[in-house]
Structure 1
Amino acid sequence: MEKQTLIDMLNRDLADEHAAIIRYLVHGYMEGEDTPLGASLISITREEMWHMHWLGMIIGELGGEPNFKPAPYPYDPTSRATMLRSYVEYEEKLIPNYNGEADKVDDPHIRRVLQREAWESAIHARKFQRKLDKLSQEEAAGLPGGESELPKEFLDILQAEVTSRYTEMLQHIRTSWVFQKDEIMGWKIMDQAMEKMKQLAHFAEPIAEDGVSPKFKHRQMDKSQVIGVALKKALENVQADRERHVKM
């Protein structure tokens, strides 16, 4: 397989995993991290983040530009039951996709990663099915999220912070993947991405707990090919955040 063809294929997979992360994370937040279903969904989200990371590292190693536009995630929002059924179907569709891609790849490491993605997608499908089977009739018919109580103006402020943190998190992830040859620097930047993820949760959770779905849409991302330029941009973002928070 030609290198660019391989990069394009992996970027499509990256978009699929990105979509799964957002869907399960939003649902988990709306259920509440202190509930069994919410905690389980967020746990699966973390596993999906590893899937995305494996793919992104390979794309970066191949010299490609990671695609951070999530793919569509088709799901039926009618009830908890219909959502979980949609999740089962989504994960089940990924299994033959990854296995088929693995058969086309010559590189043994990339092949193993794709096979692992297929294997864990099968595990996730079974997990979602078990969660669906355990729902009571009332839980199955219901929907996550509480009643909206926060003022719209405050929700808008929280959502703006979600957008900011989400963009910065993805930016750090992109930098760590693209500049992974810088070794320790790449991992330090990934640590910063994890910090942004924690901050993201601080703003997204109260939105979800108020019965509103947080919107994970990032702003335009910097695609610098020089690490010094990328770090300078990251510093500018931090300074802008600080100034905005001081004004608040």
Structure 2
Amino acid sequence: EIEAIAREEMRHLDWLAETIVELDGVPSLERGKMRMDGKSVADWMRNDVLQEEDGINLYREHIKLIDKPKIKRLLERILSDEESHHGDFKHFVDKAQKEGAKDVRGSRTDRVVQTLNWGIEHEYTVILQYLFQSYMTTNEEAKEELQDQAINEMQHLGWLAEKIVDISGNPRIEHTEVDRSTRTADMLQADIKIEQEVAAAYDRAAKETEDPGLKKLLLRIRDHEIYHTEVFSDLLKEEEHQG
């Protein structure tokens, strides 16, 4: 249920970023204030209720201040979702309390967990990078491919985080520097470079682990990263040919 809400929030991000570009602006990649405290699942859900209240109040304020009908309509559409999410999280608070939902993360911090958290850091970084580039490029084919690969990287992040929890670790959701090139060829060159580096890193990690399940996961992600490299290489050739 929470994943479905997250997908709706991603849709909001797309709509807002595309609108900013239409207005000749540049979408921000800065992460807003997060409420990460709380010792129980019910506490986390209460934090999400408060997070939604923050968003609802901001959208209502912005709707009052903006006079462009198209943008006002978009914000009203997003506000409707946020109000629904607010009710969902209030329900989740009650549900978590009744069911006694517990934090299943552990305290394992060995090399395996460190490697998986490194993977999460990479995946989070390229998700932001590919989405940003998809908003900024004027190449429609590149835009579509960048968004497709960003979705695939979201899958990777989920797989890695779930694996960390499975082995009693604690996923760390952080990112490194995002390439903010605005010229399509520069974007693709940066993407090819990072994909080549990370494919090699996943390959090394897979060779080092003795866990068959983890090895299979790392090799699967490695193969996806190789595919991304090939897709971006083809797009770069086309872009340079047209240029």
The TM-score with structure 2 as length reference comes to 0.77
Q: Determine the structure 1 residue equivalent to 2:139.
A: 182
The whole-number CA distance in structure 2 between the counterparts of 1:91 and 1:151 is: 32
The whole-number CA distance in structure 2 between the counterparts of 1:233 and 1:210 is: 33
* 1:19-168 equivalence runs, <5 A: 40-137=1-98, 139=100, 143-148=102-107, 152-168=110-126
The whole-number CA distance in structure 2 between the counterparts of 1:134 and 1:151 is: 31
SS in 2 for 1:72: coil
Amino acid aligned to 2:10: M
The whole-number CA distance in structure 2 between the counterparts of 1:197 and 1:138 is: 29
Sequence identity, in percent? 27
The whole-number CA distance in structure 2 between the counterparts of 1:135 and 1:145 is: 13
Report the Cα offset of residue 112 of structure 1: 1.4
Stretches of structure 2 lacking an aligned partner (at least 5 in a row): 206-243
Q: Determine the structure 2 residue equivalent to 1:171.
A: 129
Report the Cα offset of residue 212 of structure 1: 3.8
Q: Which runs of 4+ in 1 moved over 4 A?
A: none
Report the Cα offset of residue 138 of structure 1: 5.7
Larger radius of gyration: 2
SS in 2 for 1:54: helix
The whole-number CA distance in structure 2 between the counterparts of 1:192 and 1:70 is: 21
Amino acid aligned to 1:74: R
The whole-number CA distance in structure 2 between the counterparts of 1:244 and 1:135 is: 39
**Residue deviations 1:58-82, cap 9 Å, x none?**
1222232222221121254122222
Considering only aligned residues, what root-mean-square deviation do their CA atoms show, in Å?
Answer: 2.0
Q: Determine the structure 2 residue equivalent to 1:221.
A: 178
Residues 1:199 and 2:156 aligned together = yes
Question: Is the CA contact 1:166–1:217 (under 8 Å) kept in the aligned structure 2?
Answer: yes
Report the Cα offset of residue 211 of structure 1: 4.5
Report the Cα offset of residue 203 of structure 1: 1.2
The whole-number CA distance in structure 2 between the counterparts of 1:66 and 1:104 is: 20
Residues 1:238 and 2:195 aligned together = yes
Question: Is the CA contact 1:61–1:177 (under 8 Å) kept in the aligned structure 2?
Answer: no
**Residue deviations 1:212-238, cap 9 Å, x none?**
442222111111121111011101111
**Residue deviations 1:100-143, cap 9 Å, x none?**
2022223322211211221111100101111222334461xx53
Name which structure has the greater RCO, CA cutoff 8 Å, separation 6+: 1
Amino acid aligned to 1:144: D
Report the Cα offset of residue 163 of structure 1: 0.7
SS in 2 for 1:221: coil
Report the Cα offset of residue 183 of structure 1: 2.5
